[in-house]
Amino acid sequence: YTLCQRVSFKSSLGIDVSSKAIHQALKYGPNYQHVHPGDYSPVKGKSLIFLMDTLEHIQDDQNCLSGLMDSMAAGGQLLISVPAMPSLSSEWDDALGHFRRYSKGSLRNLVNNSGGEILEVRYIFSYIVPAIFVRRKWMSQEFNATNCEFPTAPPLLNRFLLWCNRKEIFFANRLSPSLGSSLLCLAKKKD
């Protein structure tokens, strides 16, 4: 809703298969709709779709992405974010309901095999990868549905992470990171 206002989209719609997620989202605006798995009717003819941290939660990601590509407008674009680096997989991913993490190659293959064409794919959040390795290697913790969300960062750490993020964005076109905790992909529907 806020993004729609900031960039002057004519319309926007958030969809989710979780009625609980939709109930939470409706607190921020009216443009949200509960859908059943496999129902792509809300995206029919849309020219821009954001699929943010979604595919990793879907067992048959190929079928889901193919359905989205089939439903969207000719030449429509899709912005996808997914967790990256299968080597980072852990109990935390399991607790979050992730079926997988992606590499650049696996995400490229998924998009290409689903009727899409990659415009760009890059790693993001490269600066937190060392901390993830350290935490998972030497600070073991059992995760479950009640303790798997990101903890609130202390203000100083939060400011540091925001600074790192701004630097990564600034240098993104000059230096493309070769690793990151997530992948960001811009794809379009093949003509």
pLDDT of 144 reads 60
Contact 156, 108 (CB under 8 A): no
Place of tokens 């925001």: 162
Query: What does each of the 191 residues of the chain score in pLDDT, given as a tens digit?
Result: 566 566 666 666 777 777 887 788 778 777 787 788 888 888 888 888 888 888 998 899 999 999 999 988 888 899 999 999 998 888 778 888 889 999 999 999 999 999 999 999 999 999 888 887 777 666 556 666 665 566 677 889 889 989 998 998 888 777 788 899 999 999 999 98
pLDDT of 142 reads 66
Burial 132-152 (b: 16+ CB within 10 A, else e): beeebeeeeeeeeeeeeeeee
pLDDT of 47 reads 84
Complete DSSP assignment for 68-137:
HHHHSPTT-EEEEEEEB-GGG--HHHHHHT-S--B-HHHHHHHHHHTTEEEEEEEEE-GGGHHHHHHHHH
pTM for the structure as a whole: 0.82
pLDDT of 143 reads 64
Q: Token pair for residue 71?
A: 């439903």
Nearest to 74 by CA among 118, 107, 44: 44
Contact 188, 73 (CB under 8 A): no
